[in-house]
């Protein structure tokens, strides 16, 4: 009985969110249609003429975008509105980027690696696939993808991983990894939530012999990008992965973002925080 009550509460919450989203779209000039034939009050909304185009190439060809570079071993967080598009690019190739997303209306609802695998029915996602939240709702959609190889199996690198684990060049002994950098960037933009497992953009990994993880060097070429469209108002954070080794190669490089013009971006890195704690200027 308790399980049935929990499911009912979950369904009611999803209905309230869909009704609120439909009302917001109607306020912006979109048409909202309630499909009474579908249980749980499912709402479908037609395209609003004010929404950003789904095609990133058209967005990039206009004047309504801005470029932002995340330095190596750093992270950045930014708001994105429903219907807006942004892109993640590796300017030098191979560099992995860790990505997370949070609902702006309820930051406790965040990107879920496991639900993204489950609801897409696969361990490798690309164009046409959604990133889902802990409530089973789509938060981002992949609308264009130059690389086609990304990971939703591994979590972000952390300080203990970079301190205790060796790679072909030895132990990195970094003061922090993507987890710490993402947490700092999210805190700077006002999201006080635990960092979930990430979508590891451009990371090439799979399962071999049905049970073993296999990570290989990224196939991303210089300039490759992945374009996402927000399915709801969200906060997104992206880190230029701090881990040297197989995934990004032996050298680390920056990650570029293409965002709607005027987007507020909060950047953070454990490197700067460590320098400041030591009495330095905070310069990288």
Query: In the chain, pLDDT over 90 holds for what percent of residues?
Result: 58
Bridge partners of residue 62, in order along the sequence: none
Radius of gyration of the chain (CA): 19
59 CB burial (10 A radius; 0-12, 13-18, 19+): buried
The helix or strand, by DSSP H or E, that contains position 45, with its residue range, turns out to be strand 43-45
**Alpha carbon distances (Å) from 152 to 6, 76, 124, 132, 179:** 27, 20, 7, 12, 15
Confidence check: pLDDT of 191 > 80: yes
Enter the pTM of the model: 0.74
CB–CB of 249/217 below 8 Å? yes
Q: What does the alpha-carbon distance between residue 30 and residue 85 come to, in Å, rounded to a whole number?
A: 18
Least reliable range by pLDDT among 78-92, 159-173, 198-212: 159-173
Instruction: Name beta bridge partners: 41.
Output: none
CB-based contact 22:43 (threshold 8 Å): yes
pLDDT 10s digits, 143-159: 999 999 999 999 999 98
The percentage of residues in the chain with a pLDDT greater than 70, rounded to a whole number, is 68
Contact 205, 124 (CB under 8 A): no
How confident is the model at residue 271, as a pLDDT?
83
* For the chain, domain boundaries: 1-51, 53-271
Task: Tell me what the mean pLDDT of segment 98-102 comes to.
Answer: 99
Residues 6 or more apart whose CB falls under 8 angstroms from that of 277 comprise none
pLDDT at 170 over 60: no
Q: How does pLDDT run across 247-274, given as a tens digit for each residue?
A: 666 789 999 999 999 999 999 999 876 4
């Amino acid at each position: 009985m308790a399980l049935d009550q929990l499911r009912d509460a979950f369904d009611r919450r999803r209905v309230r969110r869909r009704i609120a989203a439909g009302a917001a779209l109607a306020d912006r000039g979109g048409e909202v249609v309630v499909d009474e034939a579908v249980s749980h009050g499912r709402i479908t909304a037609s395209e609003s003429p004010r929404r950003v185009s789904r095609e990133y190439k058209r967005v990039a060809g206009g004047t309504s975008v801005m470029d932002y570079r995340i330095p190596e071993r750093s992270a950045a967080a930014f708001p994105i509105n429903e219907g807006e598009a942004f892109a993640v690019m590796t300017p030098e190739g191979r560099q992995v980027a860790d990505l997370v997303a949070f609902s702006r209306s309820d930051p406790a609802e965040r990107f879920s690696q496991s639900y993204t695998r489950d609801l897409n029915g696969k361990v490798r996602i690309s164009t046409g696939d959604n990133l889902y939240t802990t409530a089973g709702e789509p938060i981002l959609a992949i609308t264009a993808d130059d690389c086609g190889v990304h990971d939703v199996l591994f979590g972000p690198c952390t300080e203990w991983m970079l301190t205790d684990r060796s790679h072909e060049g030895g132990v990195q002994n970094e003061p922090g990894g993507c987890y710490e950098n993402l947490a700092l960037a999210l805190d700077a933009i006002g999201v006080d939530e635990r960092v979930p497992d990430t979508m590891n953009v451009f990371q090439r990994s799979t399962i071999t012999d049905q049970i073993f993880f296999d990570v290989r060097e990224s196939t991303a070429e210089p300039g490759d990008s992945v374009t996402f469209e927000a399915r709801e108002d969200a906060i997104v954070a992206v880190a230029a992965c701090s881990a040297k080794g197989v995934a990004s190669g032996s050298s680390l490089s920056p990650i570029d973002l293409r965002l709607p013009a005027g987007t507020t971006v909060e950047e953070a890195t454990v490197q700067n925080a460590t320098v400041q704690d030591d009495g330095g200027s905070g310069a990288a």
